[in-house]
Amino acid sequence: MREVLEGSQAVARTVARCRPGVVCAYPISPQTHIVEALSVMARTGELRDCEYVNVESEFSAMSVSIGASAAGSRAYTATASQGLLYMAEAVYNAAGMGLPIVMTVANRAVGAPINIWNDHSDAMAMRDSGWLQLYAADNQEAADLHVIAFAAAEELGIPAMVCMDGFVLTHATDVLELATQEQIDGFLPPYSPTQVLDIDRPTTIGTMAGPESFTETKYLQHLRFLDAADVVEAWSDRFTEAFGREAGGLAVRYDPDTLDRDRSAPPAGAEDLVVVAMGSVIGTLQEAIAPMRAEGLPVRLVGISAYRPFPREALKAALGESRHIVVIDRALELGSGGVLTGCVGRALAGTGSRIHSVVAGLGGRPILEGSLRDVIARALAGEQRGLEFLDLKTGGVPVPPVGATEVAR
């Protein structure tokens, strides 16, 4: 059934239909609507056989999730920004212990200066924590990705973050079709953890590993992470077959002309400039690029859905013969450039590709179709520099307009 829903509500309902045993969270904008909705469902009984735990910090939210997961429950939490960094130690710990917790990250900038709006700095700070990171292009995918995340995380014994742009997606209302309870029950296998704190088969979890075994432990974690790309792709394919719509995957392809998502779209050609991006800017790019294609300009779009594991092979396959890339990046590696750009560059090492980094939308700066078209046109004309900040106002920090939340530039 297609219905009008806020992104956070869609995520909360889908998570509830995945039947978590423990949901634990600490409020932080823009994650709040998700956990508020889940707490309501836990009270009304819509979320059955589930404990909703209000804790005193994000650090404890992840720690409770660790305990719950280790005790045999499907565990879920959500956070953003400072909250993700506040729980950082436990984020790494969950991955090291192989606990398949699923966490929504309502992507938000990291201060100072304090800023509650969207960019990808928070999740990027956790890029090497050993979690899967799946990015939603829109609210339909944000909801659907949670089903895939639970399935892939539990098969792999690797926790998963579902990253959705704060406010831009979490607080936006769209026409969506949610996976029903029956569909999810038929799709998502019951939680059957590989290691549990079981009184009948006692086990010790979380031992100390010395220099003689730590490297091997990390190597095994690395090998498991290499498996993750196939597992994420397989669950995404199964999702498409079961639900009749694409979600997740590794590198996402788009029809050259309609710009609609299409996994059978051909790879880019040698003459094409390819725009690579991640998250909700994909939608704006679809609208920005379609008219350029109609004018005959050789521009293609490739999305990154799984940022971790980074889909090197899938990305190269989607890029095809193209050696000219513009990466739209929502996080900045200070002194270097876009964070995603660095990953794309490493994946394309030795291919002789020209890669431009466009840092856009930091701290909630709206990304405009016109600005994207402008930067793409300049790249096509060979006028674009290696690193650019989209719509950067020169001459110091601008004074905001009187009163309102900033509307446009």
Partner 1 sequence: MSTVHIPFLQTGTLAVGGRLLDDAERSVQSQADRPSSLTRGHRACQGCAEALAARWVMDTAVEAADGRLVVANATGCLEVFSTLYPESAWKPPWIHSLFANAAAVATGIASSLHAQGRDDVRVLAQGGDGGTVDIGLAAVSGMFERNDDVLYVCYDNQGYMNTGVQRSSATPPSARTATTPAVGRQPGAPQGTGKSMVKIAMAHEIPYVASATVADLRDLEAKVRTAMSIHGARYLHVLVPCPLGWGSSSSESISLSRAAVQSGIFPVVEARAGELTDVQRIRERMDVEAYLRPQARFAHLFKPGGEDALNRWRALAEANIRRYDLLGGRP
Partner 2 sequence: MTQIRIHGRGGQGVVTAAEMLARAGFLAGHEVQAIPSFGSERTGAPVVAYCRFADVPLRTREPVLEPDVVLVQDPTLLGPAQPFAGVRPGGLVIVNTTEDAPWVREHAGDGEVDATVVTVPATRISLDTVGLPKPSAAMLGAYAGRADHVTLAAVQQVFRDRFPGRVGEANATAAAVAYAHVRGEPDPRIVPSAEVSHA
First vs last Cα of the chain: how many Å apart? 37
- Restricted to residues 195-234, the positions that interact with partner 1 (CB under 8 A) are 196-199, 202-210, 213
Name which of 207 and 405 has its Cβ closer to partner 1. 207
Name which of 44 and 203 has its Cβ closer to partner 1. 203
**Element containing residue 354 per DSSP (H, E):** strand 354-359
Q: Which of 227, 216, 206 is nearest to 94 (CA)?
A: 206
C-alpha 400 chain-centroid distance: 30
**Which is it for the CA torsion 312, 317, 321, 326, positive or negative?**
negative
**Element containing residue 252 per DSSP (H, E):** strand 251-253
Min CB(82)–partner 1 separation in Å: 15
399 binds partner 2 (CB under 8 A): no
Yes or no: say if 316 and 347 are a contact pair by the CB < 8 Å rule: yes
Name which of 22 and 326 has its Cβ closer to partner 1. 22
- What is the Cα–Cα distance from 312 to 309, expressed in whole angstroms? 9
Q: Which residues contact 397 (CB under 8 A, 6 or more apart)?
A: none
55 binds partner 1 (CB under 8 A): yes
Six token digits for residue 320: 């095809």
Strand order in the sheet with 387-389: 251-253, 299-304, 273-277, 324-329, 354-359, 387-389
171 binds partner 2 (CB under 8 A): yes
- What is the Cα–Cα distance from 131 to 162, expressed in whole angstroms? 10
Name which of 203 and 394 has its Cβ closer to partner 1. 203
Half-sphere exposure of 14 (CA within 13 A, CB side): 29
- Restricted to residues 89-148, the positions that interact with partner 1 (CB under 8 A) are 89-90, 93, 97
Name which of 66 and 151 has its Cβ closer to partner 1. 66
**Part in contact with partner 1 (CB under 8 A); list of ranges 54-62, 180-188, 246-254, 376-384:** 54-62
75 binds partner 1 (CB under 8 A): yes
Select from partner 1, partner 2, none the partner in contact with residue 29, using the beta carbon and a kind-dependent cut-off of 5 to 8 Å: partner 2
Six token digits for residue 142: 């944000």
Main-chain dihedrals φ then ψ at residue 73, nearest 5 degrees: -105, 150
Min CB(281)–partner 1 separation in Å: 35
Min CB(284)–partner 2 separation in Å: 5
40 binds partner 2 (CB under 8 A): no
30 binds partner 2 (CB under 8 A): yes
27 binds partner 1 (CB under 8 A): no
When binding is defined by CB under 8 A, the residue of 147, 281, 331, 347 that contacts partner 2 is: 281
Min CB(8)–partner 2 separation in Å: 11
280 binds partner 2 (CB under 8 A): yes
**Part in contact with partner 2 (CB under 8 A); list of ranges 61-69, 323-331, 342-350, 365-373:** 365-373
Task: Give bridge partners of residue 326 from the DSSP assignment.
Answer: 275, 356
Name which of 66 and 332 has its Cβ closer to partner 1. 66
When binding is defined by CB under 8 A, the residue of 25, 28, 37, 50 that contacts partner 1 is: 50
- What is the Cα–Cα distance from 124 to 131, expressed in whole angstroms? 11
51 binds partner 1 (CB under 8 A): yes
367 binds partner 2 (CB under 8 A): yes
- Burial (CB count within 10 angstroms: exposed 0-12, middle 13-18, buried 19+), residue 405: exposed
Select from partner 1, partner 2, none the partner in contact with residue 167, using the beta carbon and a kind-dependent cut-off of 5 to 8 Å: partner 2
- What is the Cα–Cα distance from 339 to 332, expressed in whole angstroms? 6
**Element containing residue 51 per DSSP (H, E):** strand 51-54
Q: Which residues bind partner 1 (CB under 8 A)?
A: 21-22, 24, 49-51, 53-57, 59-60, 63-73, 75, 89-90, 93, 97, 196-199, 202-210, 213
Q: Which residues bind partner 2 (CB under 8 A)?
A: 4, 6, 29-30, 116-117, 138, 165, 167-168, 171-175, 259, 280-281, 283-284, 286-288, 366-369, 401-408
